[in-house]
Structure 1
Amino acid sequence: MVRLPSGRLRKNLFGGGAVVLLAALNAPAVVSFAEAEYHAYKIARPGYQRTYGSWRIVDVPAEYRVNAIHAALLHTGKVLLIAGSGNDQEKFDSGTFDTILWDPGNDTFKKIPTPEDFFCSGHAQLPDGRLLVAGGTARYEVLDGEVKKAGGTMRVRNENTDKAVTLAKGTVFRSPSGVEYVSAADVTVPRATREFQGSYVGSGRMNPWQSKVTAAEADVFVEAREEGPRGLTTQAARYEILGREGAGEVYGVAQRLTTAKQEFQGIKAAYEFDPRAERYVPVAPMEDARWYPTLVTLDDGRVLAVSGLNEVGDVVPGDNEMYDPATRTWSPGPFRYFPTYPSLFLTQGGRLLYTGSNAGYGAEDRGRTPGLWDLEKNTFTPLGGLSDPDQLETSASVLLPPAQDQKLMVFGGGGVGESPKSTARTSIIDLSRPDPSFRDGPALPQGTRYLSSVLMPDDTVFTSGGSRGYRGRSRSDVLKAQFYDPKTDTFTAAAEPAVGRNYHSEALLLPDGRVATFGSDPLFDDEANTRLGTFEQRIEVYTPPALHRAGADRPVLGEGPRTVDAGARATFRTADAARITTARLMRPSAVTHTTDVEQRSVALGLTKGPDSVTVDVPGDRTLVPPGWYMLFVTDRDGAPSEATWVRVP
């Protein structure tokens, strides 16, 4: 007689049968689940992490989650995450602007009062360790078909030769036909100029009838008070300013006020963020409003502000300006046009290299050629040899380590605007050559826009994220990472991130040698491009293989100076002198929109004693601009120390 299995065994058998049946009915899902489980097991293995590194998602409390548009490492070791309105029209309308300060050492967070909408501003590191933040958003774009009130540029003219005139936001301009328009921002118009053209008469006085007055002008965006076709005009006319005495001397001139698409508009505001007080400090505003500007620190500590959309939504035509941190004021810089967020790198000798990388706005056929810009002479020398030159928008650029080699690299990119094009091309230029030009480097695994690129203490470049399509269209985020080694001109694979990063994403090196990634603003959340995208608020941190291999046995720098002059030597105590092989000064990042012109790695001379190392800092300010730096030493196995912060005044 055959005995039936016990009740428990029968249940297990029947359960197992159910699993087999379900697996048969839904085999792809079961296989996918099994693959995911195996992948999670594999990437957690110590051997895998020693070869490829590992990723960890930071637990950010809900009240501190933010749309990180900008990220900057401060010399306190904390990371400033700036959102402003965060590409959120409702937050802009309500005046809700966000900044979060993250301490990666203990994963704590702090909200920072944010006085302006710094969404799409520019930023740069100052010599004293403060962060300059300039520009931002005065108005969100309104797309074709959604504009209800006619608007456009009003040119305000001042014929008064005695004084400048400031018109507050909300000033009303009336057309000859009685249609009223309201200004969207404050506008200041300089005083008019008088040119004497006659001869002296009588007792030496100039004949007033022989002078010519030239009106001063400034632009402001205006919008009709009411909806409807009455506000539309393409005819030039003079507009009176309501409620103003002496209206004959100050008036508006407009030619085209329409319901066509209205672009984002910039602001003139500038602030310094004080890392010690952890607050924004207002400084003099810029002369031009800027949205999407690049700020680049020069060898004398001044900061050049370039490009951006102005107060009426046009690309600033070439009026660049300089910020002096000693006086906290702006002055005119050399005139040159660039599309928004151009990648400009300070090179040896003081010239700026424009790699052609940029983000967002500007004519397709203007200002996109790579070249060397001599600021003193204001001359621009084009540089050739770049493959896929029509796919530089949203590409990444870095000054390869060490800075003394004067090699720069461009990674990926795409076509202008919403182009479906993306390229796997990388290109390298060696400025130490007598006639430099770009050459192709090793290709990325696939065409990639918005790639993040971070200089590492061992002279490699860590790249991660990006997407094949514009703003991650069709779920095209690239969940890959790799290291580029300038010595071998090759890529090696790294562990794959779990979080996709495309438009409005950032990555930077932390003082402990890890890499933090932030942000991402996909246009859609589904492959069919039918569901609007959700901004990525998670922070993901990468730990490189060398840190897994070294564990707690990393080289340690001990007591030493906090200030090191350019061209000087500095000695630091260490018990690990015998195994230390390199020393690097690494400038902290200030990154947005794939643009990080601050980061650079400078090789230091190294002399080893029994219980100390002495480093020699180059005296060339174009290699080592003034400011705070992370000092890393690396051992023979490629393991870096934790950074020691030093200031080069």
Structure 2
Amino acid sequence: MPARTSRPSSHKTWLSVGAVLVLAAANAPAVLGFAQEKYHAYEIDTDDYKAERGHWDLMAMPARYQLNSIHAVLLRTGKVLLIAGSGNSVKQFEGGTFKSTLWDPAKNTFRKIDTPKDMFCAGHTQLPDGKVLIAGGTARYETLGGDVKRAGGAMLVKNEDPDQDRTFPKGTVFLSASGKTYRSQFPVHVPPAHKAISPVTGRATVTANEARVYVEADEEGAGGVTNTTEQYEIQGLRGEDDDNFYGIANKLGLDKKDFQGIRDAYEFDPATEKYTKVGSMSEARWYPTLLTLADGKVLATSGLDDVGQVVPGKNEIYDPATRTWSKAPTRYFPTYPSLFLTTGGKVFYSGSNSGYGPADQGRAPGIWDLAANTFRTTSGLKDSDTLETSGSVLLPPAQDQKVMVFGGGGVGESEKATARTAVIDLKAPHPVFGPGPDLPHRTRYLNTVLMPDDTVFTTGGSGDYRGRGESDILAAQFYDPKTNAFRAAADPAVGRNYHTEALLLPDGRVAVFGSDPLFGDADNTKPGTFEQRVEVYSPPYLYRDNRPRLGDAPASVRRGQSITIRTADAARITTARLIHPGSATHVTDFDQRSVALGLKQAPGGITVTVPNDPSLVPAGWHMLFATDRRGTPSEAVWIHVM
């Protein structure tokens, strides 16, 4: 808890502020501006201001630990894993410099973590045992059309042999009939052909299998371009292999090359503080969403694949028990779709997303029944063409099954932005979005954090794409679901837009990381600089006296069971919440959810009961907060729900 700052009360302090104000009034607007700044700096550090709006502090991170934070994950140890990978830096990508930093907010200490792959723009989620799954990342940076040196594109590698599969290494050469040569940029595995025997004629029918790989021409410039569909011989094959294995490609050109994803997946263990490689995905993914399901398995959707195209609805399921992936129901989404597990196990798509995909495909919100693979769209959402870079949360408590959408922008580099918020009640017979209160500003990239007192803290964002025109919004506010209204919080000192993350910490503070502006000036003439400073917000409830304290508690509980927690403050505790730790990136955080617990007074403490619903309470580690009638929360106690 932040130390209370005593209100400046000396005659000398008041005289100095007053003298500056008198001077300002008597002289010029510039002096008045200086005076207002000085008074504001004084005001935001007073007890009354902090008790009403809270307070921001910049954290000192030593230079050797600083990084371009793209992903932020709260671990069950209370530490925060910050992942940059190459950090949106081509130089670091080409140099193989991939970064992660572990931050302990309680001690404000840091540790560098060896990072084996470029996890830049991967997906991640909390697993039931407290480990974190990170899947996908960057295989290749985008190259604009004028900078592309060699023609390239997707090559389908065909296999007509039903008796063998084959893996072709990176650098495999594909020869066209006209003598042009192309090389694969990644290894590619081609499964055996499909063989079927007719029960009537007894004849065998063989259907070729295929796999896709990105290739580039050996020759630079226009000489490597192919504008027609052609078949390609694979260099080095002889005899039947030469007949059975071959490539087919459409246009291989010099047009813009998008980012490309990887198939690799890792688990990060908070105990060992190391990454461990697990089974690879079938699809390469860059900008994917990972969502933990009711059975503890993980759904992976969307992302850009190994040729830079949005994965065409090929989703996968990760099993933590076997560390392997299997096929999931097919459903197309744009990249980083905002997905929420709902009671009953269905998945709700709010329409929020963070980037790639056509404007007219996969953008409508709706309810996805994985078992039947059906999708029921929902209506009523105002400004539905500004859902990209919007925020979405499952409002607290999760039992209410209400999802709220905050702000957002137009598709791609659009100048569009909206102040719209909207709420949908998923328990209604026919769920429809209804209007919420407008944000104070038209905002995209707004971070949203669930708080222990059932409010939603929102901060930052910008009015234009990646903060263009110095449009960062230095404002924060709380949304209260009970009153359906916003109230102002203290203004942050640091602007945040693209590549920003925010997390609730176990002590009740909120930490905010990152920001990747496109430009560094209002005229959009200078390149932007990645924001590496960490800013931490202390809410008003941390400036109240007599905060509830929780004592000893069982380390684990099963769903449907009750546990007793020792506390001397039992008589004034009115609510208890299980808050799942967040894992945030690109204005998305599907791990965070706040579940109301049954609460009773007990001798020397409180007894809380966990709901018996795996689709409401995911297995794993949670923060348990107890809150008094004023809305003041305790520090969290970590509980493992099994």
Return the TM-score normalized by structure 1: 0.94
User: CA separation in 1, counterparts of 2:221 and 2:357?
Assistant: 30
Q: What SS does the corresponding residue of 1:308 show, helix, strand or coil?
A: coil
Q: In the alignment, does 2:631 pair up with 1:638?
A: yes
Unaligned runs of 5+ in 2: 1-19
Q: Of the candidates 300, 304, 309, which is equivalent to residue 305 of structure 1?
A: 300
Q: What SS does the corresponding residue of 1:572 show, helix, strand or coil?
A: strand
Tell me the residue number matched to 1:419.
414
Tell me the residue number matched to 2:521.
526
Alignment of 1:71-86 (within 5 A): 71-86=72-87
Tell me the residue number matched to 2:12.
none
- Deviation digits for residues 274-313 of structure 1 (CA, Å, limit 9, x no counterpart): 0000000111000100000000000110000000011101
Does the Cα contact within 8 Å between 2:417 and 2:442 map onto a contact in 1?
Answer: yes
Tell me the residue number matched to 2:583.
590
- Deviation digits for residues 223-267 of structure 1 (CA, Å, limit 9, x no counterpart): 112212111111111112223442322111111000000010000
Q: In the alignment, does 2:600 pair up with 1:607?
A: yes
Tell me the residue number matched to 2:175.
174
Tell me the residue number matched to 2:508.
513
Between 160-169 and 494-503, report the one with greater CA deviation.
Answer: 160-169
Does the Cα contact within 8 Å between 1:117 and 1:137 map onto a contact in 2?
Answer: yes
Q: Of the candidates 540, 545, 551, which is equivalent to residue 545 of structure 1?
A: 540
User: CA separation in 2, counterparts of 1:447 and 1:247?
Assistant: 60
Q: What SS does the corresponding residue of 1:90 show, helix, strand or coil?
A: helix
The verdict on how the C-alpha distance between 1:613 and 1:33 changes in structure 2, with shifts beyond 3 A counting, is: same
Tell me the residue number matched to 2:548.
555
Q: Of the candidates 592, 615, 631, which is equivalent to residue 622 of structure 1?
A: 615
Tell me which amino acid in the other structure corresponds to 1:180. Answer: T
Does the Cα contact within 8 Å between 2:24 and 2:35 map onto a contact in 1?
Answer: no
Tell me the residue number matched to 2:389.
394
Q: In the alignment, does 2:355 pair up with 1:360?
A: yes
Q: What SS does the corresponding residue of 2:541 show, helix, strand or coil?
A: helix
Tell me the residue number matched to 1:146.
147
Q: Of the candidates 265, 275, 278, which is equivalent to residue 270 of structure 2?
A: 275
- Deviation digits for residues 347-390 of structure 1 (CA, Å, limit 9, x no counterpart): 11111110000010001001000100000011111100000000
Alignment of 1:56-71 (within 5 A): 56-71=57-72
Tell me which amino acid in the other structure corresponds to 1:471. Answer: R
Q: In the alignment, does 2:232 pair up with 1:231?
A: no
Question: Which ranges of 4 or more aligned residues in structure 1 deviate by more than 3 Å?
Answer: 22-29, 197-200
What is the deviation of 1:199? 5.3
Q: What SS does the corresponding residue of 1:91 show, helix, strand or coil?
A: helix
User: CA separation in 2, counterparts of 1:630 and 1:610?
Assistant: 23
Tell me which amino acid in the other structure corresponds to 1:190. Answer: P
Between 409-418 and 553-562, report the one with greater CA deviation.
Answer: 553-562
Q: What SS does the corresponding residue of 2:147 show, helix, strand or coil?
A: coil
Alignment of 1:24-63 (within 5 A): 27-63=28-64
What is the deviation of 1:29? 3.6
- Deviation digits for residues 597-621 of structure 1 (CA, Å, limit 9, x no counterpart): 1100000010112411000100011
Q: Of the candidates 432, 446, 452, which is equivalent to residue 451 of structure 1?
A: 446
Q: What SS does the corresponding residue of 1:546 show, helix, strand or coil?
A: helix
Tell me which amino acid in the other structure corresponds to 1:238. Answer: Q
Tell me which amino acid in the other structure corresponds to 1:646. Answer: I
User: CA separation in 2, counterparts of 1:578 and 1:175?
Assistant: 80
What is the deviation of 1:446? 1.2
What is the deviation of 1:160? 1.8
Between 292-301 and 220-229, report the one with greater CA deviation.
Answer: 220-229
Q: In the alignment, does 2:576 pair up with 1:575?
A: no
User: CA separation in 2, counterparts of 1:374 and 1:322?
Assistant: 15
User: CA separation in 1, counterparts of 2:435 and 2:68?
Assistant: 35
User: CA separation in 1, counterparts of 2:54 and 2:109?
Assistant: 24
User: CA separation in 2, counterparts of 1:111 and 1:314?
Assistant: 33
Q: In the alignment, does 2:557 pair up with 1:564?
A: yes
User: CA separation in 2, counterparts of 1:454 and 1:235?
Assistant: 51
User: CA separation in 2, counterparts of 1:519 and 1:251?
Assistant: 46
Tell me the residue number matched to 1:121.
122
Alignment of 1:139-538 (within 5 A): 139-197=140-198, 210-245=203-238, 246-538=241-533
User: CA separation in 2, counterparts of 1:635 and 1:199?
Assistant: 76
User: CA separation in 2, counterparts of 1:607 and 1:178?
Assistant: 79
Tell me the residue number matched to 1:8.
none
User: CA separation in 1, counterparts of 2:237 and 2:265?
Assistant: 30
Q: What SS does the corresponding residue of 1:47 show, helix, strand or coil?
A: helix
What is the deviation of 1:26? 9.7
Tell me which amino acid in the other structure corresponds to 1:30. Answer: V
Tell me which amino acid in the other structure corresponds to 2:442. Answer: G
- Deviation digits for residues 106-133 of structure 1 (CA, Å, limit 9, x no counterpart): 1111111111110000001100000000
RMSD of the alignment, in Å? 1.6
Between 231-240 and 594-603, report the one with greater CA deviation.
Answer: 231-240
What is the deviation of 1:498? 0.4
**Identity, % of aligned pairs?**
62
Tell me which amino acid in the other structure corresponds to 1:278. Answer: E
User: CA separation in 1, counterparts of 2:37 and 2:327?
Assistant: 57
The verdict on how the C-alpha distance between 1:343 and 1:278 changes in structure 2, with shifts beyond 3 A counting, is: same
Tell me which amino acid in the other structure corresponds to 1:276. Answer: A
- Deviation digits for residues 542-586 of structure 1 (CA, Å, limit 9, x no counterpart): 000010123xx3111111100010000000111111111110000
Return the TM-score normalized by structure 2: 0.95
Q: What SS does the corresponding residue of 2:150 show, helix, strand or coil?
A: coil
Does the Cα contact within 8 Å between 1:195 and 1:211 map onto a contact in 2?
Answer: yes
What is the deviation of 1:450? 0.4
User: CA separation in 1, counterparts of 2:339 and 2:314?
Assistant: 16
Tell me which amino acid in the other structure corresponds to 2:173. Answer: V
What is the deviation of 1:212? 2.1
User: CA separation in 1, counterparts of 2:445 and 2:27?
Assistant: 37
The verdict on how the C-alpha distance between 1:266 and 1:27 changes in structure 2, with shifts beyond 3 A counting, is: same
What is the deviation of 1:214? 1.1
Tell me which amino acid in the other structure corresponds to 1:481. Answer: A
User: CA separation in 2, counterparts of 1:196 and 1:347?
Assistant: 44
Looking at CA atoms only, which structure, 1 or 2, has the larger radius of gyration? 1
Does the Cα contact within 8 Å between 1:578 and 1:610 map onto a contact in 2?
Answer: no
What is the deviation of 1:527? 0.3
Does the Cα contact within 8 Å between 1:394 and 1:450 map onto a contact in 2?
Answer: yes
Between 223-232 and 340-349, report the one with greater CA deviation.
Answer: 223-232
- Deviation digits for residues 167-218 of structure 1 (CA, Å, limit 9, x no counterpart): 1222221221222212111111111111224756xxxxx5xxx322211111
Tell me which amino acid in the other structure corresponds to 1:171. Answer: T
Unaligned runs of 5+ in 1: 1-18, 201-205
Q: What SS does the corresponding residue of 1:248 show, helix, strand or coil?
A: helix
Does the Cα contact within 8 Å between 2:446 and 2:497 map onto a contact in 1?
Answer: yes
User: CA separation in 2, counterparts of 1:225 and 1:25?
Assistant: 73
